[in-house]
Structure 1
Amino acid sequence: MLKTFFAALFVCATSVFAAPIEVSDAYAREVPPNLKNSAAFMKIANTTTEELFLLGAASPVATRVELHEHVMEGEMMKMRPVEKIAIAPHAHTTLEPGGLHVMLIGLNTPLREGETIVLELYFSNGQKQTLDAVPIKSVMMGMKKHKM
């Protein structure tokens, strides 16, 4: 009986202290030294019963940070900024290459694989989440890396 009580207490405590928004699998894209823009990707989970929104982001590695999406217009894939990104209740939204993403514009320094960046995210519930060590990865959009 005492075990059951402590197990129930643990479950209640963890749900009380769980963050309304959880960010996982974040990474930024490596770019060649001559490119001044990159992007960051991640999975954002909403643990609440109401829809939440990613409203913006910031990073010291870029002069400007925007939320973007890729859309098909006719036969052309285009990228455009969006005001916010929705995260449904008890669900997650994935920011990924070719879809929704955080755009890093006007890089202050080249992003190199193996290094990390700091990224701040701002949400509609007032939560600010600082990701202190977002890894930089080499990612080829729409292609798989093959050994030659």
Structure 2
Amino acid sequence: MALGVAACTGPADLDVEDAWVRLPAVPGRPAAAYFTVQGGPEPRTLIRVTADLAVRAEMHETMSGMGSGGGHMSMRPITAVPIPAGQEVAFEPGGRHVMLFDLDRRAKPGATTLLTLTFDDGQRLYRKAWIASAASQTPD
């Protein structure tokens, strides 16, 4: 009976999980923030992300391309990311991410920063993001 009720409840609320920041390999360069957005019962669009330890933040997407010298990776800014109802959208190394510019000197491995995600309907979600070293591939 409980299983049947759970199946009828629909998607959970809009949420953000697994937020973390990788520091830059070269001091003074931007850091990158990663997280997963879990879509709620209605589709939404992520329109802005900020971090309390960064002066400026921009959403970016990494793309691979084929130039005359072979494959290469490039980034481009993105201004909006659709979040389908009930679906996960990942911001991860090698894909979508948030570039964090002019980090505060308190941004050190093991510390945290507060991310604010703003959606097209005005909703804001606040999540603590763990800060990891430049060599980290995961937040651990």
Shorter-normalised TM range = 0.7 to 0.9
Within the alignment, does 1:138 sit opposite 2:133 as a pair?
yes
Length, aligned pairs only:
130
Point out the structure with max Rg over C-alpha: 1
Distance 2:76 2:82 in 1: 16
Partner residue in 2 for 1:78: 74
Gaps of 5+ in 2: none
Shift of 1:127: 0.8
Distance 2:107 2:24 in 1: 6
Shift of 1:112: 1.8
Distance 2:76 2:131 in 1: 23
Residues 106-145 of structure 1: pairs in structure 2 closer than 5 A: 106-109=102-105, 111-131=107-127, 133-138=128-133, 140=135
Distance 1:94 1:140 in 2: 20
Distance 1:115 1:33 in 2: 18
Shift of 1:32: 4.6
Instruction: Please give the TM-score of this superposition, normalised by the length of structure 2.
Output: 0.79
Within the alignment, does 1:43 sit opposite 2:43 as a pair?
no
Gaps of 5+ in 1: none
Shift of 1:110: 6.0
Q: What is the letter of the counterpart of residue 107 of structure 2?
A: L
Distance 2:76 2:130 in 1: 25
Q: Structure 1 segments of 4 or more deviating over 4 A?
A: none
- Deviations, residues 64-85 of structure 1 (Å, cap 9, x unaligned): 1111000112221001100111
Structure (1 or 2) with the greater helix fraction: 1
Partner residue in 1 for 2:15: 22
Instruction: Please give the TM-score of this superposition, normalised by the length of structure 1.
Output: 0.75
Does 1 or 2 have the higher relative contact order (CA < 8 Å, sep 6+)?
2
Within the alignment, does 1:57 sit opposite 2:52 as a pair?
no
Identity %: 30
